[in-house]
């Protein structure tokens, strides 16, 4: 890994027992074209060196990337040592269509999902959820569990496979409430509890820019009875234009102070370093506040993600690969 960010200002590595080391994971999206697919292969190889706990693969609005998501998840399963989590949305498909998609993923060997309701397609104003479809992410968690149970009911082999590789279901959480649906943090905590009751195993948050909003979500969720781990979703703040775009999409506006800090650097390399340092401060704050790990929104680029791991001492070097013992 080539590190371009000076570590002299970084805090010393956390002293944690190996079992307590924070989880590290990455979000990828299906490539839009062949050139993107080639670049992604190199990105995946670079990210693999950090030995992440899992990588998640997004699913386009209204299932637009159903086939490309499946292909990328299968590629990760079949050609890397990584564990993929397939994002899955339900709001624009009938229940039968959603069952068919779940079956396809399970047949492929996928055992981990991020169950989402999904957003309406951009620009569509009179959009309605599918009349025979599921209405919430919690419904999708329930359906995933039902499909797995039905498969196990018909096949002892499937029971054994399920015991060896249990189905795991993640869900989304929103430190500042779900802007896309006009929801407050209180709405999101209620939705998160419903997802847990439906069988969700852990949650990953939407992007946020201040540790207190993540810690407040966790505090309010715990008070409401949510016990599942809530992993903070982290966007490396290296590209101001991307921060603004993500802000428009999610309603989570990047702080002016952060944008000004980045704008102060005309040189791309020093801007990158400043952005990684700012993100490392956020990562250290949430980990110090008890976060179980971090999920990095990579936008299919590895450099900022790996520099961030290096600066926060969370990279592959943190968990050295044990060399084979000399049996001679």
Question: Under the rule (CB under 6 A), what is the footprint of ligand FAD?
Answer: 58-59, 61, 87, 89, 116-119, 136-138, 172, 178, 180-181, 183, 187-188, 190-191, 194, 204, 206, 233
Closest contact distance (angstroms) between CB of 277 and ligand FAD is 24
Which CA distances in Å does 186 have to 58, 176, 207?
Answer: 26, 9, 17
Closest contact distance (angstroms) between CB of 288 and ligand FAD is 22
Closest contact distance (angstroms) between CB of 64 and ligand FAD is 8
Locate 164 and state its tokens.
């060896």
Instruction: Name beta bridge partners: 205.
Output: 173
Q: Cα separation of 298 and 239, whole Å?
A: 12
For residues 119 and 220, which CB has a smaller minimum distance to ligand FAD in the complex? Answer: 119
For residues 50 and 191, which CB has a smaller minimum distance to ligand FAD in the complex? Answer: 191
Q: Which residues are catalytic?
A: 27
- String of b and e for 250-265 (b: at least 16 CB within 10 Å)? bbbebeeebbebbeee
For residues 117 and 151, which CB has a smaller minimum distance to ligand FAD in the complex? Answer: 117
Closest contact distance (angstroms) between CB of 199 and ligand FAD is 14
Closest contact distance (angstroms) between CB of 52 and ligand FAD is 15
For residues 118 and 133, which CB has a smaller minimum distance to ligand FAD in the complex? Answer: 118
For residues 206 and 273, which CB has a smaller minimum distance to ligand FAD in the complex? Answer: 206
How many C-beta atoms lie closer than 10 Å to residue 281's C-beta?
16
- String of b and e for 77-116 (b: at least 16 CB within 10 Å)? beeeebbbbbbbbbbbbeeebbbebbeebbebebbbbbbb
Calculate ∠ Cα 37-38-42, nearest 5°: 110
- What is the helix, strand, coil percentage profile of the chain, to 5? 50, 15, 40
Element (H, E) at 188: helix 185-198
Q: Cα separation of 237 and 96, whole Å?
A: 40
For residues 80 and 187, which CB has a smaller minimum distance to ligand FAD in the complex? Answer: 187
The crossing angle, in degrees rounded to 10, of helices 256-263 and 240-250 is 160
Closest contact distance (angstroms) between CB of 111 and ligand FAD is 18
Query: Which phi and psi (to 5°) does residue 99 adopt?
Result: -60, -45
146 Cβ contact partners less than 8 Å away, ≥ 6 residues apart: none
Given a contact cutoff of 8 angstroms between Cβ atoms, the answer to whether 170 and 115 are in contact is yes
């Amino acid at each position: 890994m080539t590190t371009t960010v000076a570590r002299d200002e970084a805090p010393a590595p956390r002293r944690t027992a190996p079992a307590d080391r924070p989880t590290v994971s990455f979000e990828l999206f299906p490539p839009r074209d062949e050139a993107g697919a080639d670049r992604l292969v190199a990105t995946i190889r670079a990210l693999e060196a950090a030995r992440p706990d899992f990588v998640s693969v997004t699913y386009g609005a209204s299932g637009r990337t159903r086939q490309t998501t499946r292909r990328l998840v299968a590629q990760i399963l079949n050609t890397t040592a990584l564990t993929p989590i397939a994002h899955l949305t339900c709001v624009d498909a009938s229940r039968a269509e959603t069952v068919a998609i779940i079956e396809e993923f399970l047949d492929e060997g996928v055992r981990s999902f991020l169950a989402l309701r999904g957003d309406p397609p951009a620009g569509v104003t009179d959009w309605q959820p599918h009349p025979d479809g599921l209405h919430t992410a919690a419904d999708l968690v329930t359906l995933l569990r039902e499909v797995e149970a039905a498969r196990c009911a018909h096949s002892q082999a499937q029971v054994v496979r399920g015991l060896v590789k249990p189905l795991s279901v993640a869900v989304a959480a929103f430190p500042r409430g779900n802007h896309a649906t006009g929801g407050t943090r209180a709405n999101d905590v209620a939705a998160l509890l419903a997802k847990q009751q439906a069988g969700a195993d852990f949650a990953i948050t939407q992007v946020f820019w201040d540790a207190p909003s993540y810690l407040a979500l966790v505090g309010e969720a715990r008070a409401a009875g949510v016990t599942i781990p809530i992993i903070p979703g982290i966007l490396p703040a290296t590209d101001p234009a991307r921060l603004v775009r993500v802000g428009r999409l999610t309603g989570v506006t990047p702080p002016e102070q952060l944008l000004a800090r980045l704008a102060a650097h005309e040189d791309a390399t020093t801007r990158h370093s400043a952005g990684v340092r700012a993100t490392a401060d956020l990562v250290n704050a949430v980990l110090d506040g008890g976060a179980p790990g971090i999920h990095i929104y990579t936008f299919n680029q590895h450099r900022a993600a790996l520099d961030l791991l290096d600066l926060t001492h969370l990279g592959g070097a943190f968990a050295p690969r044990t060399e084979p013992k000399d049996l001679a």
